[in-house]
């Protein structure tokens, strides 16, 4: 028998148990140190496109390499090419973060490697998902008529909601498709102009075409204009189109504006349309009792998407679709060939009946561990603190003559920009200069590596976004980024 070489794969089978233990401990230690030193690392990867690729071999290793060398390459090659989402000064996009119980959940899920396509291929995954999502539903104050399903991302959750809505239209699209049919009217989905692009992608994916999406204007606070929605639906009906789905956003990506769901509900009901709520980011805030009002109206919606991977300290990916009409979702996707038939199928839920995937990852485990470890109160306390920090930052902006708020900040995202005095400069020149200045400030802050911000455009003006959602972010980090912004303004504004 060949001697086992330390760190090298044996000729057959998996890693030896003692080696697994040794490297496993080493990697857990590595992760603990990574979190400890993360503030010394630049938030944004400081590499140029292609830098990592140029350091990697073109072809795979012929024989196995020692684990020590692989782990050393994590430090040498991978870490410098990371943008550190776990850095407490990551304020870009929607700041999100993993957490220790979530990491343990991922570790165990990789060890179990269950493919939860049928109840029997992973009863634990199926039943834990049902129970955990019912806990989350209760924490968010959603009513008991909702059943939850886990998908990977909100893009996919929302696409499934639109597919279920289309199934409800009774046009035999599942059986006959949409192409080559002269009998099909134009089917329409309505979103605000601030809805996330994933809704449009979902509409494209489902074959409804970009023409199948109608974007409704928003009010001064970036919320869907309900009167414009009513008029659009009525106009479409007069033209023979079939309005079948409204997507409201609770917490838009640019500003976290909240569409008036309660006012949109009667419109959906009047025209027998499905009302889906994209609460991918903001839904988590409803676990804070005094913020539950953000989901007002959702008790009468048909479906709601929320991402624990965004603001509930659950590692990417885990999105939840709460749906009332599970029968329609099932009718849109269930297809059971003989080799997947089981004796218990009438009595249990099988994940593959409710989406395009057959096998499904055991994602519920990490969410279950996160909820148990922090508890409802612990999760609410963290989100509440993020909102407090955002309000504090917004108050500095309001008090400063050099900066201005660009949108209300109902949660933990602040939209703002520098607007120093520019004496003697005409309006249009000033607008151009302010856009350039704000972009330069953002790039200047990001280049320091000490914080990361992102931007959007509001009313045609470049707007900076500060999103607070990382479990490690404290007041110290928010004060630091405020100082960095003011340093950049002084440097560039002169
Ligand atoms: N919906 C909203 C409101 C979002 O802000 C985002 C992402 O930021 C998404 C959907 C897409 O999320 P995911 O990456 O989970 O598809």
* Residue ID of nearest Cα to ligand 1 atom 7: 253
Mean pLDDT of 217-243: 98
319 bridge partner residues: 151
CA distance 313 to 102: 7
Share of the chain above pLDDT 90, in %: 96
90 bridge partner residues: 452
DSSP calls for 356-395:
S-SS----HHHHHHHHHHHHHHHHHHHHHHHHHHHHHHHH
* pTM (whole model) above 0.75: yes
E strand segments, 156-216? 187-192, 213-216
For the stretch 444-484, pLDDT in tens is 999 999 999 999 999 999 999 999 999 999 999 999 999 99
- 89: CB partners within 8 A, 6+ apart: 39, 43, 450, 451, 452, 473, 477, 480, 481
Quickly state the pLDDT bin for 24 (edges 50, 70, 90): very high
Quickly state the pLDDT bin for 3 (edges 50, 70, 90): low
For the stretch 380-426, pLDDT in tens is 999 999 999 999 999 999 999 999 999 999 999 999 999 998 888 89
- Cβ atoms of 492 and 440 within 8 Å: the answer is yes
For the stretch 258-272, pLDDT in tens is 999 999 999 999 999
In the predicted model, what is the mean pLDDT of the chain? 96
Other C-beta atoms within 10 Å of 19: how many? 17
Distance 279 CA to ligand 1 centre (A): 9
For the stretch 193-202, pLDDT in tens is 999 999 999 9
| pLDDT value, residue 493 | 78
CA distance 415 to 385: 18
* Residue ID of nearest Cα to ligand 1 atom 8: 253
CA distance 175 to 446: 51
Token pair of 377 as six digits:
């109160």
| pLDDT value, residue 494 | 61
Q: Specify the 3-state DSSP secondary structure of 477.
A: helix
Q: Higher model confidence: residue 97 or residue 266?
A: 266
| pLDDT value, residue 283 | 98
Q: Which residue, 124, 113, 126, is CA-closest to 354? A: 126
CA distance 439 to 462: 7
414 bridge partner residues: 466
Distance 304 CA to ligand 1 centre (A): 13
- Test site for ligand 1: of 96, 198, 310, most ligand atoms within 8 A of the Cβ: 198
């Amino acid at each position: 028998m060949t001697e086992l070489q330390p760190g090298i794969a044996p000729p057959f089978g998996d890693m030896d148990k003692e080696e697994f233990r040794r490297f496993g401990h080493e990697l857990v230690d590595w992760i603990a140190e990574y979190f400890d030193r993360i503030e010394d690392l630049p938030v944004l990867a400081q590499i140029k496109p292609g830098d990592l690729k140029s350091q990697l071999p073109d072809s795979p290793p012929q024989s196995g390499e020692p684990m020590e060398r692989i782990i050393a390459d994590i430090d040498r090659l991978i870490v410098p090419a990371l943008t550190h989402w776990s850095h407490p000064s990551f304020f870009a996009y929607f700041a999100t973060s993993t957490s220790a119980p979530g990491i343990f959940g991922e570790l165990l899920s990789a060890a179990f490697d269950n493919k939860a396509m049928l109840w029997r291929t992973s009863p634990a995954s199926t039943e834990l998902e049902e129970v955990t999502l019912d806990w989350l539903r209760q924490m968010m104050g959603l009513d008991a008529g909702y059943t939850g399903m886990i998908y990977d991302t909100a893009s996919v959750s929302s696409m499934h909601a639109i597919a279920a809505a289309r199934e409800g239209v009774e046009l035999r699209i599942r059986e006959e498709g949409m192409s080559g049919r002269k009998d099909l009217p134009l089917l329409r989905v309505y979103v605000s102009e601030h809805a996330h692009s994933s809704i449009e992608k979902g509409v494209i994916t489902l074959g409804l075409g970009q023409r199948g999406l109608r974007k409704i204007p928003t009010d001064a606070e970036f919320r869907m204009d309900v009167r414009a929605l009513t008029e659009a639906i009525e106009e479409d009906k007069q033209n023979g189109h079939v309005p079948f789905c409204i997507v409201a956003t609770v917490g838009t990506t640019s500003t976290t504006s909240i569409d008036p769901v309660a006012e949109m509900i009667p419109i959906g009901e009047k025209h027998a349309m499905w009302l889906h709520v994209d609460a991918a980011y903001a839904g988590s805030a409803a676990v804070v009792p005094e913020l539950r009002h953000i989901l007002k109206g959702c008790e009468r919606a048909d479906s709601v998407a929320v991402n624990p991977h965004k603001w509930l300290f659950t590692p990417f990916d885990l999105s939840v679709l709460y749906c009332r009409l599970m029968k329609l979702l099932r009718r849109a996707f269930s297809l059971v060939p003989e080799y997947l038939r089981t004796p218990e199928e009438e009595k249990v839920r099988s994940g593959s009946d409710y989406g395009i995937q057959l096998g499904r990852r055991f994602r519920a485990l990490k969410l279950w561990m996160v909820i148990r470890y922090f508890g409802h109160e612990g999760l609410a306390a963290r989100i509440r603190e993020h909102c407090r920090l955002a309000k504090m930052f917004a108050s500095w902006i309001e008090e400063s003559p050099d900066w201005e708020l660009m949108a209300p900040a109902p949660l933990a995202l602040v939209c703002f920009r520098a607007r120093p005095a520019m004496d003697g400069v005409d309006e249009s020149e000033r607008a151009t200069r302010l856009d350039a200045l704000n972009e330069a400030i953002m790039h200047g802050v990001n280049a320091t590596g000490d914080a990361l911000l992102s931007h959007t455009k509001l009313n045609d003006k470049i707007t900076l976004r500060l999103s607070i959602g990382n479990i490690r972010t404290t007041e110290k980090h928010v004060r630091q980024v405020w100082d960095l912004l003011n340093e950049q303004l002084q440097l560039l504004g002169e």
